[in-house]
Each structure stands twice: as structure tokens, then as C-alpha cells.
Amino acid sequence: MSGRFKPWLLRIMLPVAGAAFLMFSPFLQDGSYGVRLGWMIITYILWGSVFYTLINIPYGSMASVISNQPGERASLSVFRSLGATLANLGISVILPLIVFVQINGQSELSGTRMMWAAAGCGVLAVLCYMLCFVNVEERITTPPKSKEQRATLGQTLGAMAKNRGLTGLIATSLFMLIAFMLLGGMMPYMLNEYFNDGQLLSIVNFVGLAPTLLLVPFASKLAKTFGKKEVGTVGMTLAIVAALVLFVLRTDSPYVFMVGYAVLMLGVSCLNILIWAFITDVIDLQEIRTGERNDATVYGMYSWARKLGQAIAGGLTGWALGWIGYQSGTGNVVQTQQVLEGIYNLATLVPALLLIISVLALIFWYPLSKKRVDENVAILESRHAAAAGTTPES
């Protein structure tokens, strides 16, 4: 198995699928609470912190060695985002029809059905990993260095801390991701409490995913023509304007809100759909600055930052609801008007403020404009050609 990253797809695809199956298996459903809790913790760590990490970092790093052309890298990012969106649609639309059952007139989640659904998803994941392995070729190579020439882990981490491309992208992505997940977390409360129509959630979920599908035919061409940073900046500005208009408008119509939400998500998608191509540009910058690509280390650092953002956003929704005085309960709890206004603010103003921080980091901190990216590609082509004793491609 040739390549630095491809072999890991075959090595880990079965363990990660197996761990997903175990994570949702109800084998110990009759055990004590402590036993069931322990099973949940162990299988989740095994899946997420061990096997998923072992396959996701090589998978994500592989984009930087498939092509060195900015336009092709943008296409790779677009198709990765498309795959994630289609999978999300399948999980959001199809799985609920399978895993929920009616018991005594009440809708309940079936543990057995969830286990088999996880098994089915695992099989699909293995097939997709195999297709990726067969159809992808690692083309970009760097000359090996002796042990004395290689930087230590401390030197590598120090160099990455000084890499404005990486730190700027982390800051941009972190605040964008927190805003994105907070917005998604607030949607059930917006529809169920503020608009008093929770059945609209499925429509809103589709509205939130549709912009990614609409952008797929154009995103890579836009990035190639104008630059990834430039497209992301315009998109995020559009998202901020949409969120602020919704905040000022304070509409009582869920359908008017959906229109603004669609525009907001379209703006966020302009950055999110290309974000994986940003990483490859950062890896190039790292090689220019230090002489080492550090593909997996750079991607791993960025991936860790995204997980941090997801953890913050996951807790932020619950904390924020507590701050505004939201009352949870199984009965017919009626929220005060102050709480309803707070929910609306959390779904409009707060994401807008987070996105403002994100776009400011992108504009003033992240240095890789289209011009700079093109210059970096030319520099590396010349270096690699000189190391190989050939002439750079025109």
C-alpha cells in the first residue's frame, strides 16, 4: 500500500465501523445504571477519541498531497462538504423513520433498531472508505529527511503557533463553528416556543442544508476566480447582515424567519464548504516557512480546534437558555415573554456577534489571499522541482 495517508483508510475502516456499532448496541440494557454508563463512555471514547481520530486525520490530510493546484483543492473541499451534507440529509430524514416506533400511542426510540441502523451506516462507511482508497492517488511527495534534519515535536508546535495561516484559520473557524452550532441548537426552541410550531423543524433543517447543495456547482469556480479567503469573507458578511436584519425585524412569521435563515446559512456555507481547502494552503505555508509540510500535525491541530468549538457550542446552548430563565419540564410549561425574547436574541444577535469576530479574524489575521496562495504554489513547485532535478510545470 503506497502513500503516507491512504493505508490508514484500510487499517482503521473496520475498527471505526465496529466501534460505532458497539456504541449504539443495547447489549447491556438490562444492567445497572453504572454498567450502562460505563459501556457508553468506553465505546464512545473508543469510537471518537481513538478510531475516528486515527482515520479522520489521515483522510483530511490527504487532500494536501492529492494536488497542489488551488482550484483542484477547492473542488476536493466542495465534494467533501457535499458528501457530509448528503450523509446528514440521510441521517436527518431517513433514520428517524426507521429507529422510532409507536408504543401505546407514544413515539419512542428503539434501541434494537438503532443498533441495526448503526450497523448499516457502518457498512456504508466501509464501502465509502474503500471507494476512496481505490480512486485516490497521492501525487505530492517531499524528499525524506534524516533524523538530524527533522524538527522535534516542540519545534514543530512552536512553528505552528507562529503560523498566522493556521492560527488565523483556527480563530475564524472556531467562532464560525460556535455560531453555527448555537444557531442549530436554538432552532427547536425558536420553532417550538417562539413560533409555537415544532413540526416546522424538519423544513428548517432542510432549509439550513439546502444552501450547501446549491453552492456545490459554483463554489470551486468562485474560489478559483476570486480566492477562498475572498469568497469566505463575502459569504460571512452576507450571513452577518441576514442575522442582524432578523434581529431588528423581530418577525412573528416563521416563514419570514426561514427566508432570513436560508440567506444566513448560504453565507456561512460560502466559508464552510471551502474550509478544508484552507487547510491545504496552510500546510503549504508551513512548508515554506519551515521546510517541513507537517500535513497530519497541522490538520490534527485544526481538527482539535474544531472539536473544541463543538464542545463549547454544545454547552453554550444549555447555559444560554439557563441565563435567560428558560423553564424546562414535561408539562405545559409556558415561557414568559422575556424568555421568548431571549430565545430570539440567542438565535439572531448572538450568532451575528460571533460571526463578526470570525470574519474579522479572516480579514485581518488570516494572511492567505488568492495572490499569496498562488505565489506559495509557485514557490513550492520550484523547490520540489529543484529537489527532484526537474523543471517546474508551467
Residues 6+ apart with CB under 8 A from 57: 296, 299, 300, 303
CATH superfamily name and code, 156-327+334-388: MFS general substrate transporter like domains (1.20.1250.20)
What is the distance, to the nearest Å, from the Cα of residue 49 to the centroid of all Cα atoms in its chain? Answer: 16
Can you tell me the distance from the alpha carbon of 80 to that of 94, in angstroms, rounded to the nearest whole number? 21
Q: Which of 255, 251, 274 is nearest to 176 (CA)?
A: 274
Residue with cell 415561557: 335
198-227 tens-digit pLDDT: 778 778 888 888 888 888 888 889 998 999
Higher model confidence: residue 357 or residue 136? 357
Measured in residues, the chain has a length of 394
Q: With 70 as the cut, is the pLDDT of residue 151 above it?
A: no
CA 218 to chain centre: 20
DSSP 3-state of 392? coil
> Residue 298 pLDDT more than 70?
yes
Burial of 363 by CB count in 10 Å (0-12 exposed, 13-18 middle, 19+ buried)? Answer: middle
As a whole number, the mean pLDDT across the chain is: 86
CA 16 – CA 126 distance, rounded (Å): 9
Q: In the prediction, which pLDDT does 243 show?
A: 97
Cell of 270: 460560502
Looking at residue 259, its pLDDT comes to: 95
pTM (2 decimals)? 0.78
pLDDT in tens, 57-78: 888 888 878 887 877 878 888 8
The per-residue pLDDT for range 335-353, each reduced to its tens digit, is 889 999 999 999 999 999 9
Kindly list the domain boundaries of the chain, sorted by start residue. Answer: 1-61+94-139, 156-327+334-388
- Percent helix, strand, coil in the chain, to 5, is 80, 0, 20
Distance CA 123, CA 179 (A): 33
Q: pLDDT value at position 235?
A: 96
CA distance 259 to 264: 9
Has residue 3 got a pLDDT over 90?
no
pLDDT of amino acid 172: 95
pLDDT at 391 over 70: no
Q: What is the pLDDT of residue 308?
A: 81
Q: What is the pLDDT of residues 152-195, one digit of tens each?
A: 667 777 777 888 999 999 999 999 999 998 998 898 889 888 98
Q: What is the mean pLDDT of residues 129-147?
A: 79
Distance CA 138, CA 175 (A): 32
- Give the mean model confidence (pLDDT) for residues 230-242: 97
3-state DSSP assignment of residue 56: helix
Please give the full DSSP string across 97-122, using - where no structure is assigned.
Answer: HHHEEEETTEEEE-HHHHHHHHHHHH
CA-closest candidate to residue 350, choices 370, 383, 323, 377: 323
Return the amino acid letter for 228: K
